[in-house]
């Protein structure tokens, strides 16, 4: 009984206290309510945004950018990682160039992306794709290279060649590392999106926040921050479920 309390309830006590204190401070108007809206006010504007459909619209466009960017950048990173882990020719042809580009903080390319690609979808998707590409590339490369040579030799001995060897030995061997890359890339994906959307857009969650800033609607800014956090958590949870499922064989992921 005491144990359930300790494990299940105790962790929520502090957040609850913070919320209550915050609510009380706001209600007593100790600080300006426009800078420091009460949790109930935040809830109210959240409700308003949901009912009017505004929120769904902005979330939809943000998710679209996030996932198209992830898909493009992730695929490129995955393919390059596999190629360079597989073939020395490919590695020596591409890796140095990839590492040079990787050293540029991708967000520094934002102004350039806007000049080249405009403020439409392309520039944001480009930045997200660029950002997620590197963690996936590096971890895939590392995963493929760290596959036990003994397994590869055994696979060849038992007649596996080319695609078969890749599918049965290299890919599953690299998978734990690829998932590490994916989960890291999800973090980069949201971060890139937040920055890109606050600077050059007319829709999306970042735009919603920046627009609210102009009108000092602190409550809406807080709503968007919470939604970013929720989506970040959600994406990580989905990746974790996929990871657990794909790595059932791995002692670290066994229940």
Partner 1 sequence: MTNSTREHGVRINVSQLQKSFGDNEVLKDVNLTIEKGQFIAIVGKSGSGKSTLLRLVAGLEQPTSGALLFDDQTIKKTDASVTMMYQDSRLLPWKTVIDNVGLGLKGDWKDRALSVLQAVGLSEFQKEWPGTLSGGQKQRVALARALIREPDLLILDEPLSALDALTRTEMQDLIEQIWRDNQFTSLLVTHDVREAVKLADRIVLIEDGEITLDLENPLPRPRDVTDERLVALEKQVTSRILEEEPLTSH
Shortest CB 160 distance to partner 1, Å: 5
Judge contact between 174 and 85, C-beta under 8 A.
yes
Shortest CB 172 distance to partner 1, Å: 4
Residues 149 and 71: their CA atoms lie apart, in Å, by 31
Shortest CB 247 distance to partner 1, Å: 8
Shortest CB 30 distance to partner 1, Å: 58
Shortest CB 243 distance to partner 1, Å: 13
Contacts to partner 1 by CB under 8 A: 150-151, 153-160, 164, 168-169, 172-173, 175, 248-251
151 CB contacts (<8 Å, ≥6 apart)? 169, 173
Query: By C-beta, is 53 or 150 nearer to partner 1?
Result: 150
Extended beta strands in the chain, E state: none
Tokens encoding 42: 């935040």
Query: By C-beta, is 76 or 175 nearer to partner 1?
Result: 175
Residue tagged 């596996």 (tokens): 160
Query: By C-beta, is 215 or 249 nearer to partner 1?
Result: 249
Shortest CB 134 distance to partner 1, Å: 26
Residues 65 and 26: their CA atoms lie apart, in Å, by 36
4 CB contacts (<8 Å, ≥6 apart)? none
For 97-162, give the DSSP string.
HHHHHHTS-GGGGHHHHHHHH-SSHHHHHHHHHHHHHHHHHHHHHHHHHTS-HHHHHHHHHTT--H
Tokens encoding 157: 């001995």
Query: By C-beta, is 142 or 168 nearer to partner 1?
Result: 168
Shortest CB 154 distance to partner 1, Å: 4
65 CB contacts (<8 Å, ≥6 apart)? 121, 124, 125, 128, 193, 196, 197, 204
Residues 107 and 130: their CA atoms lie apart, in Å, by 9
Query: By C-beta, is 53 or 251 nearer to partner 1?
Result: 251
Query: By C-beta, is 15 or 159 nearer to partner 1?
Result: 159
Tokens encoding 30: 């100790």
Query: By C-beta, is 156 or 213 nearer to partner 1?
Result: 156
């Amino acid at each position: 009984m005491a144990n359930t309390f300790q494990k299940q309830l105790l962790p929520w006590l502090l957040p609850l206290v913070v919320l209550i204190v915050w609510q009380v401070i706001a209600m007593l108007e100790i600080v300006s309510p426009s800078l420091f809206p009460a949790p109930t006010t935040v809830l109210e504007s959240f409700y308003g945004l949901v009912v009017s459909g505004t929120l769904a619209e902005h979330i939809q466009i943000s998710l679209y950018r996030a996932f198209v960017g992830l898909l493009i950048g992730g695929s490129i990173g995955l393919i390059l990682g596999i190629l360079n882990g597989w073939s020395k020719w490919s590695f020596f042809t591409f890796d140095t160039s990839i590492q040079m580009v990787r050293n540029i903080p991708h967000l520094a390319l934002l102004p350039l992306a806007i000049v080249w690609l405009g403020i439409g979808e392309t520039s944001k998707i480009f930045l997200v794709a660029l950002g997620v590409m590197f963690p996936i590339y590096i971890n895939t490369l590392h995963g493929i290279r760290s596959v036990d040579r003994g397994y590869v030799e055994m696979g060849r001995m038992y007649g596996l060649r080319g695609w078969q060897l890749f599918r049965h030995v290299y890919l599953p061997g690299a998978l734990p590392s690829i998932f590490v890359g994916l989960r890291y890339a999800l973090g980069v994906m949201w971060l890139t999106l937040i920055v890109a959307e606050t600077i050059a857009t007319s829709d999306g969650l970042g735009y919603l926040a920046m627009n609210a800033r102009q009108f000092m609607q602190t409550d809406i800014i807080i709503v968007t921050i919470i939604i970013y956090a929720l989506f970040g958590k959600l994406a990580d949870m989905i990746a974790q479920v996929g990871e657990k499922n794909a790595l059932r064989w791995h002692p670290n992921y066994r229940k």
